[in-house]
A and B are shown apart, each in its own frame.
Chain A
Amino acid sequence: MSSRFAKQWKSIIYYSGKIIFAFSFTLIVPLITAAIFSEWNMFFSFLLAISISLIISFASEGLFKTEKELNWLNGMLVVVITWAVVNSISAIPCFQSGFYGSYLDAFFDSMSGYTTTGLTLIQDLDHSPYSLLMWRHFMQYIGGQGIIVLALTFLSRSLRGAIKTYIGEAKDERLWPNIKSTALSIWRIANMYLLVGTLIISGFLISIGVKPVKAILHGIWIMMASWSTGGFAPSSLSLLAYHNFLLEIAVVVFMFLGSMNFAVHFLAWKGKIQELFKNIEVRTFAFYFLLTFAISLVGLISSNTYSTSLTRFRFSLLQISSAVTTTGFSNIPTQVMFGTWNELAILGVSLAMALGASACSTAGGIKAIRIALDLKGIYHEVRRIINPESSIIYTYYHHIRQQAITDNQVKMAGLITLSYIALYFIGALVGIYYGYPFIASLYESISATANVGLSSGITSPSMPALLKVVFILQMWLGRLEFTALLALFGYLLIILRRR
């Protein structure tokens, strides 16, 4: 038994090391940025992080080399371990920059980055190094596509059982039969959008007087955060720093593109535009986007917050789009929003955050496909009740192809929906325990779990350490959609019982 246990851990550590090796190359991007802008302290901090990740990966290769293929449980554990180690290493340059109050704060931001949440504990953001800003946004860009997806583009041949790690990171769509081709396609699409989006946003910024170097940097950062539905911004004013409605429209478009299911996106990319109109996930998402948009708009009209319809439309559009795509950008200071928007408008934003966007995308939240399956499941049950017992009932839906709903699909969708809702309230309870108001606590808890990043003002360096830990776990569980972390807890439970 112990030999089997040792063999399992050998393969888990070995394959985790492989992924950490691929990750170490991502640190070259901020390293080069630091060199270009002569930020030498940051340069050595990134070099330190590269060295640590290389030492871990070479040591795991030297000590634990194996040819054994990963099974399902081990695949899940590789995902959890890789995420923990990558986040821990990524937080080192953040902490060494001096812009974080503690290593926990730096770890909070790296988790927020990789989970594409956007909540932040950085201090003095407006004076932070360009290389640190590049790293924060690049973490979101990697996290949006997936740390495992990144590793699979380099390592699928040496990573035996790669598909299990891919699924463990809450991705279950294959664009191609081959997992490496799928990973490459995801990155190809993302990089293409990054290039086009950066040109568009930088162009806007230059046209409103921003100097070219800063315009390009801000263009890259805003685009990385938009496409990855991340929400980090290079300015403490977020999108309000640019005062440009057209730029906001461009950002909204990229947020929606990033929040679309990779498989649906891929079909549309290949010319099958009709998939967009037939797909149940897209249709459900469009329905509740319009619903939450209408709720927030009615809230703003009834509270008389803005004087013109265009202004109401602008603010409602950006907050709801940012919430439903789980990005977290804002064009209004938090205090002003909570001081001028009524509860109905805030409810619209909260609901949009909780529901989230598409599965197998860069976004978080419960996700449209689960909401669709929950509703279809109810419809299916009602049909079963009203029809004779002997009749066989099929309920169909279209997602990539026409398929009949199964009990297992409905059960899984219901289970994960309930898990999200439970986690929203658990986080809110911890907030209430620390004396924060209920609405603000629930808003912040939903934002963390659904990987959004909009804040009611609770997330700050001075908040209790335990609340920081709770938000970190919420972001992590929300991003991995419970499966991988629950597998770890189950595994630990088995070990404890055997003892």
Chain B
Amino acid sequence: MRFNTIVVFILLLFLLATSQAFASDNLNDILSKPAENDGKTFSLEGEVVGVAVKSGSGYFIQLNQDPYSKRSIAEGGKLQGQNLAIPVFLSKELYKKIRYFGDYHVKGDIVEIEGVFNASCEEHNGDTDIHANQLKVVKKGYPLKQVVGPVNAGISLFLFLVALLLAFFVRQRQ
């Protein structure tokens, strides 16, 4: 019993020492030094948003790495700055792993990608992009539900009524 416990403990220590938590590179740092980072391999975590477009044998997706990729305003996230995004080129196989593309109505899939950054990609007419060779869906996206604010709705309807009454009185006077 004690021997087993020791073995499990040693195994856990071994796993802890060898495993690395996924360390995402910072997109802002990559983009702020485009010439220096051109051709280097990076790992990024972010939300898939917007539209996907076909390009040759693969697809381009938009990967956002900003506070809103963790929690968008539509989900009740706080205002923390503008969007930060990069196009990522994927093979068809990698593209098929993605299901949800984020927008106002949907929380997009959170993915980890590893790929080569191109300040000006020769394969894609000079576009700035990342060619991913690995993609893992960390967290699946989901449709978002909206709650209507009753105060906003009440004030709007009341003022609309006031506007109609005012229109009636003005026309009557004329």
Q: Which residues of A contact B (CB under 8 A)?
A: 37-41, 44-45, 47-48, 50-52, 54-55, 58-59, 61-62, 96, 98-101, 122-130, 205, 208-211, 214, 218, 235-237, 240-245, 305-308, 310-311, 314-315, 331-333, 335-336, 339-340, 460-462
Known: A47-B160, A236-B62. 11 other contacts (CB 8 A): A51-B162, A126-B68, A126-B83, A127-B73, A209-B54, A236-B82, A242-B51, A306-B120, A306-B126, A336-B34, A462-B81
| Chain A to chain B contacts (Cβ below 8 Å), 28 pairs | A41-B146, A44-B149, A44-B157, A45-B152, A52-B159, A62-B169, A99-B79, A123-B68, A123-B80, A126-B49, A126-B50, A127-B103, A218-B51, A236-B82, A237-B85, A237-B87, A241-B51, A241-B62, A242-B51, A243-B60, A243-B87, A305-B120, A308-B126, A314-B125, A335-B34, A339-B35, A460-B81, A461-B79
Binary per-residue interface labels of chain B (31-51) against chain A in the complex, 1 for a CB within 8 Å, 0 otherwise: 111110000000000000111
Please indicate the chain A residues that have their CB under 8 angstroms from the CB of B32 in the complex: 335, 339
Nearest-CB residue, chain A, relative to B105: A37
Contact between chains at B54 and A208 (CB < 8 Å): yes
Task: Determine the distance from Cα of A210 to Cα of B74 in the docked complex, in whole angstroms.
Answer: 23
By beta carbon, the residue of chain A nearest B51 is A210
Is B97's CB within 8 Å of the partner chain A? no
In the complex, chain B residues whose CB is within 8 Å of the CB of A242: 51, 53
CB-defined contacts of B85 to chain A, threshold 8 Å: 126, 235-237
Q: Is B26 an interface residue (CB 8 A)?
A: no
The 3 A-B residue pairs with the shortest CB-CB distance in the complex, in nearest-first order: A311-B126, A236-B83, A51-B159
Smallest beta-carbon distance A216→chain B, Å: 12
Contacts of A38 in B (CB 8 A): 146
**Chain B: interface size category:** 35 or more
- Tell me how far the C-beta of B33 lies from the nearest C-beta in chain A, rounded to whole angstroms: 7
- Answer whether A130 and B34 are a contact pair too, CB < 8 Å, given A47-B160, A62-B169, A123-B80: no
Task: State the CA gap A335–B128 with chains docked (Å).
Answer: 11
Q: Mark B151-174, 1 if CB is under 8 A from A, else 0.
A: 011011101101100110110010
Residues of B with Cβ closer than 8 Å to A?
Answer: 28, 31-35, 49-55, 59-60, 62, 64, 66, 68, 72-74, 77, 79-87, 102-105, 119-120, 122, 124-128, 146, 148-149, 152-153, 155-157, 159-160, 162-163, 166-167, 169-170, 173
